[in-house]
Chains A and B, each alone.
Chain A
């Protein structure tokens, strides 16, 4: 590109920007003027709305209670026969796991805790040596000592079946997507929808179709946990370098060999990230799953919260995190294991030392547990509880920090949040729709403009505009704060290996720690108000900003960094001119995830008390209204998809400017 061409391009760019700015100003002014003139601009008329929620409710009524296939024939069946049949099949592995860990076979005892914990230590050591052994074994020892063993095993037996279920489906969908463009076109929007729809919105349909208990809980979890797994798998497979593929072809690998022996092993790292996300999402659903009949930690936790026993809830929440971390570390270590060379001339025992030790330990520990019942079920007096300490801590905070927090609370609420809310509610809907369309056009041309316009028109036509604007205000504010706070933390973390490890652990913690627990302390300090809801969102949605900023900056090639140093760039210049632009795609992915997480929290912060779409889902509960919850869920999902499409388009443009693609 010559210098002349470049200036020409810059000029074009500037002209385009000016033009768009002009159009934006026109939309805003025209909207303001029209608002006073036409009632339909100020408020979308009720008679233009579509009763979609009633259609959906009717559809479910008909499908579940009235539809019959082959009516009158011998093989007549109703739709729920199919779904219930699936449930009865899935119940076999689940009840096996439940009997093994929790209930006991044939009214016998389940696995003693000592056996379980010991096997966890041995498994950890076999997979990756002492470090992982201590983490995994220690995690389960914690569960035994902190008197949450029973509910933890209940939850564990659900999770241990759900995670492979989610992973295998995710793996195959991911492989399919990586191979077929058509599959990608179909699944990408579906995944967007599944990931951004609050689970509360589809709980009732799941109960009606699949019933209650562990299997329906597993299905609800799968809806939420499969998309990130499949996405990571597809990304990993697609980014396998061409020369690896060529090498595989030259060796004469068949399609199957190519996939399982070349592509999958090469993409292992990204696939493991997918597995990690599958585990984290599954554990994140434990509390919600308890609302449709999955017993265990989730229901215990909700019960503690209902009694306002925060200490107890905290311990139960920590147990969920502990299970997540143990499963994640062991599966990641297993995936990273180098292939083992086995000397076939050795005896079976010598070739399988761990299996032998594990077998022996199982027998011995079970025998011992018959002699010493404390090894089977730890008696209460031998367990520890930190609940009173946490409760006292929360009381102390409440007694001593309350006053000083109030000044901050009142200022933010009255001088910042309420004006922003008033502002958002005053925007005439044609202005907002117009601006979204313009933004879509600027970022991705006519096609994107059309997509985002249709998506933003949805809440309008179903009559949820006000709730949607309040959601935009809450999520917008929360996301902005997340970005401002999360970016510097991620930046600092990226500077050292140790800081990064600590930060990643913190991120795992906050991702799986049940967000329900934040609600009560936040309310105690900030009262029922928008500020409480926004703070609860922050605690959850800050994670991806930190995670991806850290990841992006650490992925900047060492060579590039050194080149900048040699050119005499100061650390500041290096950051601004070299590192940030290169890390931008990851950082933007972080922002994208912040928005999705914040939207996920909308349904939960409704429990504090809001007037947004989450509240609409909450309200649908009281009327047992399937359609209403789903429609509000769609509105939330569509907001997420709009943000995602615009951010993705912008990132793509930046990337091509930097010559990264």
Chain B
């Protein structure tokens, strides 16, 4: 706020010069506020955006927020940019702000996300039929824990991330008990423990995610979801003629950039830059690996990423950024 007061001052003082020099970047000396979450890929992507904005002449500020408060903060204009909006876990909150006109969709990355049942590779030793979903019933016992036996135990994410899980289990006739973890930390805490003993486990996972690099594994292959989404809307579709949801989750969920609703008006050029930015899946993996595998800090990783991908990154820079 203090900075805002000073910057207003500066803006008034320099108004005379501004009118002569014509508009350029930055349109406002107020900082562009970039959101910093708590996982590696997001942190590096946020810093890539930050460094590009600074290159274009903007003042920037990083702010750490969790995935809960960030949407409210972007709605009020306290924060401006979120580089990773995930379809699976954030769509509801995101759309609430977008529908109210307080946030705008900054466009999708080429990278898509996959969110599905998953297992580490060693599970195939006790359950060789995997990744086909039909194998689950054959080795339900091996995938069970005492409180779920004889059913297999599936460690799902928070129930509201994938509410169709319950019906899917029924529609596909799976002998599975769903246990809902409350957070990503809980999911991967269990995975870490199980993997250290090669204990069979089946859990919810997504890609891109660092977990895939640390613990090699595969997604369970359910019947493919059709494009028209009849699997969900039409019970007669699919392997079970009487029930809907007899298919896997959508492959290729969106990964979007989210912007504050007033962003384009206040920082038109930055807005252009943000809509241009487009990460592919491999780019996100390599950005995260710089931190998770090579042990760089997030700022250095972002810098290295920009240098390494200079061609692509320069293509994102709009003409107005000079």
Q: Is the CB of B189 within 8 A of A292?
A: no
For the complex, is A457 an interface residue (Cβ under 8 Å from B)? no
Cβ contact within 8 Å between B40 and A624:
no
A618-B72 contact, Cβ under 8 Å, with A414-B146, A523-B190, A624-B93: no
Q: Is B1 an interface residue (CB 8 A)?
A: yes
A69 within 8 A of B: no
Tell which of A207, A520, A623 touches B69, judged by Cβ atoms closer than 8 Å: A207
Q: Check A302 against B186 for contact (C-beta < 8 Å).
A: no
Check: A524 CB closer than 8 A to any chain B CB.
yes
Whether A208 and B76, one on each chain, are in contact in the complex, defined by CB atoms closer than 8 angstroms, is yes
Report the bound CA distance from A211 to B76 in whole Å: 8
Q: Which B residues are CB-close (under 8 A) to A618? A: 158, 182-183
CB contact between A523 and one of B65, B66, B189 (< 8 Å): that residue: B189
With contacts A306-B184, A306-B185 taken as known, whether A292 is within 8 angstroms of B69 at the C-beta atoms is yes
CA distance A520 to B181 in the complex (A): 12
- Closest CB in chain B relative to A530 CB, distance in Å: 10
User: Are B73 and A525 interface neighbours, CB within 8 A?
Assistant: no
Type the 1/0 row for A190-211, where 1 means its CB is closer than 8 Å to any CB of B: 0000000000100110011001
- Whether A212 contacts B39 by the Cβ 8 Å rule is no
> Are B79 and A212 in contact, with the CB atoms below 8 A?
yes
Least Cβ–Cβ distance between B34 and chain A, in angstroms: 12
* Interface flag for B110 (CB, 8 Å): no
**A interface majority secondary structure:** helix
How distant is the Cα of A345 from the Cα of B96 in the complex, in angstroms?
71
**Chain A residues, Cβ within 8 Å of B1:** 84, 87-88, 91
Q: Contact: A303 with B38, CB < 8 Å?
A: yes
B316 at interface by CB-CB < 8 Å: no
Is B309 part of the contact surface with A, judged by Cβ < 8 Å? no
With A and B bound together, what is the CA distance between A92 and B89 in angstroms? 37
B294 at the interface (CB under 8 A from A): no
Q: Mark A108-144, 1 if CB is under 8 A from B, else 0.
A: 0000000000000000000000000000000000000
* Given known contacts A88-B1, A519-B186, A291 and B192 CB-to-CB distance under 8 angstroms: no
CB–CB A211/B158 < 8 A: no
Chain A residue at smallest Cβ distance from B179 = A528
Alpha-carbon separation in the docked complex, A211 to B147 (Å): 45
A584 part of interface (Cβ distance < 8 Å): no
Interface presence of B300 (CB below 8 A): no
Q: Which of A46-54, A424-432, A605-613, A647-655 lies at the binding interface?
A: A605-613
Q: Is the CB of B64 within 8 A of A607?
A: no
Q: In the complex, what residue of chain A is closest to B183 when comparing beta carbons? A: A607
Are A213 and B63 also in contact (CB < 8 A) when A88-B2, A395-B196, A398-B193 are?
yes
Question: Would A95 and B2 count as touching, CB distance under 8 A?
Answer: yes
Whether B72 and A204, one on each chain, are in contact in the complex, defined by CB atoms closer than 8 angstroms, is yes
Are B158 and A402 within 8 A (Cβ)?
Answer: no
Within 8 Å CB of B97, what residues of A?
624
A207 touches B182 (CB 8 A): no
Are A607 and B40 in contact, with the CB atoms below 8 A? no
Query: Within 8 Å of chain A (Cβ to Cβ): is B197?
Result: yes
From A302, A519, A606, contact of B38 by CB (8 A): A302
Is there contact, CB below 8 Å, between A291 and B185?
A: no
Knowing A207-B69, A519-B186, say if A622 contacts B158 (CB, 8 Å).
Answer: yes
B122 at the interface (CB under 8 A from A): no
Scoring B71, B76, B93 by chain A CB atoms within 10 A of each residue's CB, the highest score goes to B76
A560 within 8 A of B: no
CA distance A57 to B195 in the complex (A): 43
Choose among A295, A308, A622 the residue that contacts B188 (Cβ–Cβ < 8 A).
A308
A609 to B155, CA, bound (A): 10
1/0 contact string of B267-280 vs chain A (CB within 8 Å): 00000000000000
Minimum distance in angstroms from B211 CB to a CB of chain A: 9
Interface string of A65-90 (1 = CB under 8 A from B): 10000000000000010001001100
Contact bitstring A360-404, B, C-beta under 8 A = 1, else 0: 000000000000000000000000000000000001001100100
Interface flag for B18 (CB, 8 Å)? no
B179 touches A212 (CB 8 A): no
Residue from B2, B65, B186 in contact with A609 in the complex, judged by beta carbons closer than 8 Å: B186
A609 touching B179 by the CB < 8 A rule? yes
CB of B92 within 8 Å of the partner chain = yes
Chain A residues whose C-beta falls within 8 Å of the C-beta of B100 in the assembled complex: 61, 65
**A307 contacts B292, C-beta separation under 8 Å:** yes
A606 touches B182 (CB 8 A): yes
Contacts of B179 in A (CB 8 A): 528-529, 609
Give min CB distance, B239 to chain A, whole Å. 30
Q: Are B189 and A308 in contact (CB under 8 A)?
A: yes
Please provide the chain B residues from 39 to 81 with a CB less than 8 Å away from any CB of chain A in the complex.
39-40, 43, 62-69, 71-73, 75-76, 78-79
CB pair A207–B78 under 8 Å, yes or no, is yes
User: A15: CB under 8 A from chain B?
Assistant: no
Interface residue ranges of A510-568 to B (CB < 8 Å): 519-520, 523-525, 527-529
Interface flag for A358 (CB, 8 Å): no
Q: Does any Cβ of B come within 8 Å of A581's Cβ? A: no
Does A64 belong to the interface (CB within 8 Å)?
A: yes
| B147 engages A623 (CB within 8 Å) | no
Q: Can you identify 20 A-B contacts, CB atoms within 8 angstroms?
A: A65-B102, A92-B2, A95-B2, A204-B72, A212-B78, A292-B69, A292-B73, A414-B147, A519-B189, A520-B189, A527-B190, A528-B186, A529-B147, A529-B179, A607-B182, A609-B158, A615-B182, A618-B182, A621-B68, A624-B71
Q: What are the nearest 5 A-B pairs in CB distance?
A: A624-B93, A524-B193, A88-B1, A291-B66, A621-B68
Where the two chains meet, the residues of A that have a C-beta atom closer than 8 Å to any C-beta of B are 61, 64-65, 80, 84, 87-88, 91-92, 95, 200, 203-204, 207-208, 211-213, 290-295, 299, 302-303, 305-308, 395, 398-399, 402, 410, 413-414, 418, 519-520, 523-525, 527-529, 605-611, 615, 618-619, 621-624, 626
Query: Which residues does B use to contact A, with CB under 8 Å?
Result: 1-2, 5, 36, 38-40, 43, 62-69, 71-73, 75-76, 78-79, 89-90, 92-93, 96-97, 100, 102, 145-147, 155, 158-161, 179-186, 188-190, 192-193, 196-197, 210, 292
